[in-house]
A and B are shown apart, each in its own frame.
Chain A
Amino acid sequence: MVATSATSSAAKNGTAHGIFKPYETNKYFDEMLASDGSIRPHYQRFLEHFGELTTEEFEAKRHAIDMAFLRQGITFNVYGDAQGTERVFPFDLMPRIIPSAEWAYLERGLIQRITALNMFLHDIYHEQHILKDGTIPAHYVLSAKHFRREFVNFEVPKNIYIHICGTDIIRDAKGQYLVLEDNGRCPSGVSYVLENRRALKRTFSDNFESMGVRSVEHYPAELHKLLEYVAPAGVSEPNVVLLTPGAYNSAYFEHTYLARQMGIEIVEGRDLLVRDQRVYMRTTKGLRQVHVIYRRIDDDFLDPTVFRKDSALGVPGLVGAYRAGNVSLANSIGTGVADDKVIYYFVPKMIKYYLGEDPIIPNVPTYLANEEADRKYIVEHINELVVKAANEAGGYGMLMGPQSTAAECDEFRKRVLAEPRNYIAQPVVSLSRHPTYCDNQFGGRHIDLRPFILYGEKPVIIPGGLTRVALRAGSLVVNSSQGGGSKDSWVLDGDK
């Protein structure tokens, strides 16, 4: 057995580093522990410092962070919970570390993907080449829940549809990175990335600088730059605002956080009004025109005169102002097509079609229930598969075949057969694991990664992203609404 590095003898022997004690990796890919139990090279520098902590010191730091998050109100709201509507998103102190070369690979893959997705959206809202020549069957796009017929032939500012994208990435048992899904509407979570980093910097203030971690602090500035970039033509100092559904939205903390970091106003629908196809905000000094809206409201709720008539969150006439080119929206209207898990299946084809390249980061193998052969396979193997509704998120509308009862499988089989267009299935991917502190000891817990991609004048991705972790042992569901937590994600300057 050859150890991957020659630094610490403890690592070679698989012995404890202070409070950290290695555990069995079993059949999983562990981010820190190689299959022989040795520490992967890019974790060693961190572990040297971390290993110096005593259990008491570690507990004290953990407690301090939890208290700080609660005090600052870094919480998310849980729907359907009348009692404690706010909860702290559990934070695990041990960071996930990505070496420089791996990150460069991810960055290339993500930029390739967002570029293709934007070309795809332009195409389906204009000439529809990819549908006409049959590369993607037209009916899949026409039946997509979020395909907006109203916006066909509409020119979006700077021809950008998805400005901000959160793409979920996982690793399989071999450590291969795979794209799980794209979030091209209102991806959330970036505030945790920034706050988690602040928390870890405070915790390891003595030696954080020496660990060679790439900064994430420029995200708000980059986002602001992007929003100003898409302002209507001829506006030199655009008034940029963030449109929130309000204080009861689950991501409200993030909305205020980002608005404050960017130094822009956070507005609710009722703060805005439209006059003569221009959007204004109501201020104590009268009306002030708004040029760019970073909207954190779904299409359906934007404008009650166009979409959902019962929406009290939106701004009547907003879509008209957008059509007239007097205000820009980020993200654009109609990007939800790309979030459809059936359309996800076709992303590798899009990359080939628009860019003439092979996808750099592959998709998870996917079966489309709408295709006869796939459907047959899904129905017969449902207890081995993960079945997902095409337009649900947050871990809802999903069946984990192996962990489900026969009755649950039957129920999903029925749903799949009744509405094949709205279901896909994937083999269960054994998500990679990461040492995580639970129940007073470190154990391997499954994680994913959501990097945030800004697609403006040129694409920008802040190093890392949100690492979500399933805190329950053995669970593969990392969503905050389903008992998930988060970690800071470190991208190193080098590979060690």
Chain B
Amino acid sequence: MLSRVANSLYWMSRYVERAENIARLVDVNLQLMLDASKLDDKAIAGYWAPILQSSGDDEFFAKLYPKVTGRNVTEFLVFQGDNSNSIVSSITQARENARTVRDQITSELWEELNRLYLFLNSPKARTMWRQSPFEFFQEIRTSSLLLQGLTDATVVRNEGWYFTQAGRYLERADKTSRLLDVRHASLAAGYTTTQTDALGWSAVLRSCSAWDGYKALHGGQVEPKLVAEYLLLSEDFPRSVRFCVQQLNTALRRISGVAEGRFSNDAERHCGRLLAELMFSTADEILARGLHDYIDELQGKLNVIGEALFQTYILQHFSLQQEDEIRQQEEQQQQ
């Protein structure tokens, strides 16, 4: 497979996953605010600030908008073209990547992605967002899930598919950890009451579609430690960090053909090590070290894997040869 194509497939799926996670994040917050009553400006800002922090773009937001309001934050996260992590930007980039590898993906996949892109850029999308935000975010999540379903159901299990998987799970692991970190940070800020705290943690579960799974395991009692355990270490919940790293590990090994327990490149080495760590950690250990620090470090490790993957499969065969410009040989004047 062409290195450029592998790169595009990887980013296509990362961007789709990113868009879906933003939709989840915003949607759950909106639901949460419905449960609360009598919100003043400060309280509203208190709901939205962590969302911005989790996206890592809070400073950029402050440059564009005077005030943290629901309207501004969602606008920023959904439609803002200057925000490279907004839903519209993510889907645009996903589609651009898909466009350059159209021969590698199925028409069903392309058509749905294209449909989502056209929808987001139509006036209809903004109207819907204004009039019925729930319906709007539902639409994006549905479309994203449809894209994943189409990928699973229609794409041939070749090398390209494993690059798609790698992109999806790397992004998802990162986003799940960020969602978890948001609540942790809000706890530390100290402007939540115990009651909203519990609501906050259950919102985290809901935004990861983890509510039902968690409830089946632990009942209705929402305990921060159990939530963290579920989202970080669960073996079978498909959005937990461990599950994602497991899938990533499998994808990397399918690409290279190297068996478990061995490695042939840095991406495999780092990923294998992180997986082992997640398999043999407990929630108590993690909380003892501090959830925020742990998550920070985890994100660092995920970045290292992404970087190594790029170095191994994309850069080595692709960009390295491009480093030097072509120059004309100096010519001799005839005298």
Asked if chains A and B are in direct contact (CB within 8 A), the reply is yes
Instruction: Chain B residues near A60: list those with CB within 8 A.
Output: none
Encode A241-253 as 1/0 by CB contact (under 8 A) with B.
0000011000011
Q: How far is the CA of A279 from the CA of B38 in the complex (A)?
A: 69
User: Cβ of A283 and Cβ of B317 under 8 Å apart?
Assistant: yes
Interface string of A268-309 (1 = CB under 8 A from B): 101101000000011111110000000000000000110001
Cβ–Cβ contact B111 & A71, under 8 A:
yes
Closest beta carbon of chain B to A271's beta carbon, Å? 5
Collect the chain A residues with CB atoms within 8 Å of residue B255's CB.
284
A266 at the interface (CB under 8 A from B): yes
B110 within 8 A of A: yes
Scan A130-151; emit 1 where CB is below 8 A from any B CB, else 0: 0000000000000000000000
Count of CB-CB pairs between chains A and B under 8 Å:
70
Complex: chain A residue closest to B319, CB-CB: A270
Known: A73-B102, A246-B100, A260-B102. A282 touches B110 (CB 8 A): no
Residues of A within 8 A of B (CB-CB), count: 30
* A266 x B114 contact (CB < 8 A): no
Which partner residue on chain B sits nearest A70 by CB separation? B118
Q: Is the CB of B107 within 8 A of A72?
A: yes
Which of B2-10, B19-27, B287-295 lies on the face that meets chain A?
B2-10
A123 within 8 A of B: no
**Is B313 engaged at the interface, CB distance under 8 Å to the other chain?**
yes
Are A247's CB and B96's CB within 8 A?
yes
CB pair A283–B103 under 8 Å, yes or no, is no
A259 contacts chain B at the CB level, 8 A cutoff: yes
Instruction: Provide the residues of chain A in CB contact with B2, threshold 8 Å.
Output: 265, 267, 271, 281-284
A266 adjacent to B103 (CB under 8 Å): yes
Q: Given A284-B159, A284-B255, check contact A271 B3 (CB 8 Å).
A: yes
Taking chain A's interface residues, is the majority helix, strand, or loop, or is none over half, making it mixed? mixed
Partner of B317, one of A252, A253, A267, A282: A282
Determine whether B99 belongs to the interface, using a CB cutoff of 8 Å to chain A: yes
Is residue A336 contacting chain B, with contact meaning CB distance below 8 A?
no
B115 at the interface (CB under 8 A from A): yes
Near A by CB (< 8 A), chain B positions 89-119 give: 96, 99-100, 102-103, 107, 110-111, 114-115, 118
Partner of A284, one of B6, B326, B328: B6
Residues of B within 8 A of A72 (CB): 107, 110-111, 114
User: Which chain B residues lie closer than 8 Å to A73 at the CB level?
Assistant: 99, 102, 110-111, 114
Q: How far is the CA of A286 from the CA of B107 in the complex (A)?
A: 28
Q: Point out the residues of chain A lying under 8 angstroms from B107, CB to CB.
A: 72
Answer whether residue B318 sits at the interface, using C-beta atoms and an 8 A cutoff: yes
A283–B313 Cα distance when bound, in Å, is 8
Q: B321 an interface residue at 8 Å Cβ cutoff? A: yes
Interface residues of B (CB under 8 A from A): 1-6, 96, 99-100, 102-103, 107, 110-111, 114-115, 118, 159, 163, 255, 313-314, 317-318, 321-322, 326, 328
Apart from A247-B99, A286-B317, list 18 A-B contacts with CB within 8 A. Answer: A70-B118, A71-B111, A71-B118, A72-B107, A73-B114, A247-B100, A252-B99, A253-B102, A257-B103, A265-B2, A265-B103, A270-B4, A270-B318, A270-B322, A271-B4, A284-B3, A284-B317, A309-B328
Q: Which residues of A pack against B, CB within 8 Å?
A: 70-73, 246-247, 252-253, 256-257, 259-260, 265-268, 270-271, 273, 281-287, 304-305, 309, 316
- Could you write out 11 A-B pairs with CB less than 8 Å apart? A73-B99, A260-B103, A271-B2, A271-B4, A282-B2, A283-B3, A284-B159, A284-B255, A284-B313, A285-B1, A286-B317
Q: Which 3 A-B pairs have the closest CB atoms?
A: A256-B102, A260-B103, A282-B317
